[in-house]
Every structure is written in structure tokens, then in C-alpha cells.
């Protein structure tokens, strides 16, 4: 990891360690988890975090923050963000945030132990890098994700062989759930 990226992740990690910030995010996690529990066919649910929760300690390129709850046993498939650099940390539980090209995945096991080294809790995913969260069957995985675009601009791109471009795009704020089908 390059020193400047390590510095960004250290700053984000410090912001999340604040008791006040942690408590506010915990309440969002519980709300988003309850939404997932109400939707039997959902793989994951999410909600943006107001940047005001963090005060002014975030690196200037951070334009949005999110809580994602990935259901136990979820494999959401390949996705990428063509317009954002994503930095994600494991907030509660654990999972495998695989990166690379579909079919040639590299595992990145992330855990939520605050005493663990940064590299075991965080991942940095540049724009257009395919990634795929895979969650164990025992428990949901709560993650906090930071992006370099505002919430209403965040695009997710998924492979789609029926499309001329080979991909399908959606904006996260257009929906709040990804279904199993």
C-alpha cells in the first residue's frame, strides 16, 4: 500500500474510532440490519451516512459514506464503481471482499477487531476495479464504505451479457436493497 493511501485510511480509521461517531454509526447499522431482516429475499441493504456525523476530520476527497449490511451467506456478485474510489472497513462481523477480474478473484478477508492491523480491517478499491463481497453463513457483515463521489452520484456497474456495453449500471440511491434473484 502506498504511503499516501495508508495515510487516508489511517485518517478514516481515526474518525471511526471516535465514541460519538461509532455510536451514531451503530444506530444506522441497527436500522439497516432491521430493514434486511424485514426483506426475506434481500442479499444486502444500505443507507448513506451524513458526512456531518464525522465532523471535519475526513480527507477532502471523501464525498459520501455508507453503511452496508450484507446478509449471512450472501455473494452479491461482481460489481465496480466507474466513478468512485471506494475505501471500506469491516465494522461488525467479517467477510471476503474479493477483487480482480471475474473468475480470477483475489481474496481479501476483512475482520472487525479494532486491535487488528489496518490491512485486516480495511480495503482500498480504485475506480473500475471489480470486487465481490462474499459473506460466511454464520452472521451478517456490516461495513462502512467511503466514496469519492456524492451519494446521489455513486454508480454501481455489474456484468450483463445481454447489454451492448456488457454491463448494467444503477445508482445506489435509486434503490436500497439487492435481492437474491
- Identify the residue with better confidence: 175 or 8: 8
Helix, strand, coil distribution of the chain in percent, nearest 5: 25, 35, 35
* The total number of structural domains that make up the chain: 1
pTM (two decimals): 0.90
Asked if residue 181 has pLDDT above 80, the reply is no
Structural domain span for residue 112: 3-179
pLDDT tens digits, one per residue of 126-166: 999 999 999 999 999 999 999 999 998 998 888 777 767 77
Task: Please check whether residue 172 is in contact with residue 45, taking contact to mean a CB–CB distance below 8 angstroms.
Answer: no
pLDDT tens digits, one per residue of 46-85: 999 999 999 877 899 999 999 999 999 989 889 999 999 9
Say which CATH number the domain at 77 has.
2.60.120.10
Amino acid at each position: 500500500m502506498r504511503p499516501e493511501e495508508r495515510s487516508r485510511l489511517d485518517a478514516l480509521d481515526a474518525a471511526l474510532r471516535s465514541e460519538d461517531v461509532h455510536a451514531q454509526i451503530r444506530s444506522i447499522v441497527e436500522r439497516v440490519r432491521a430493514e434486511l431482516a424485514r426483506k426475506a429475499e434481500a442479499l444486502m441493504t444500505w443507507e448513506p451516512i451524513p458526512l456531518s456525523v464525522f465532523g471535519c476530520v475526513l480527507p477532502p476527497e471523501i464525498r459520501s459514506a455508507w453503511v452496508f449490511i450484507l446478509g449471512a451467506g450472501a455473494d452479491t456478485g461482481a460489481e465496480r464503481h466507474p466513478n468512485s474510489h471506494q475505501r471500506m472497513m469491516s465494522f461488525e462481523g467479517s467477510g471476503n471482499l474479493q477483487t480482480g477480474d471475474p473468475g480470477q478473484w483475489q481474496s481479501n478477508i476483512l475482520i472487525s477487531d479494532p486491535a487488528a492491523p489496518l490491512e485486516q480491517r480495511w480495503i482500498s478499491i480504485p475506480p473500475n476495479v471489480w470486487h465481490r463481497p462474499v459473506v460466511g453463513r454464520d452472521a451478517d457483515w456490516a461495513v462502512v464504505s467511503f466514496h469519492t463521489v456524492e451519494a446521489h452520484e455513486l454508480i454501481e456497474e455489474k456484468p450483463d451479457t445481454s447489454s451492448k456495453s456488457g454491463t448494467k449500471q444503477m445508482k445506489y440511491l435509486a434503490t436500497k436493497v439487492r435481492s437474491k434473484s
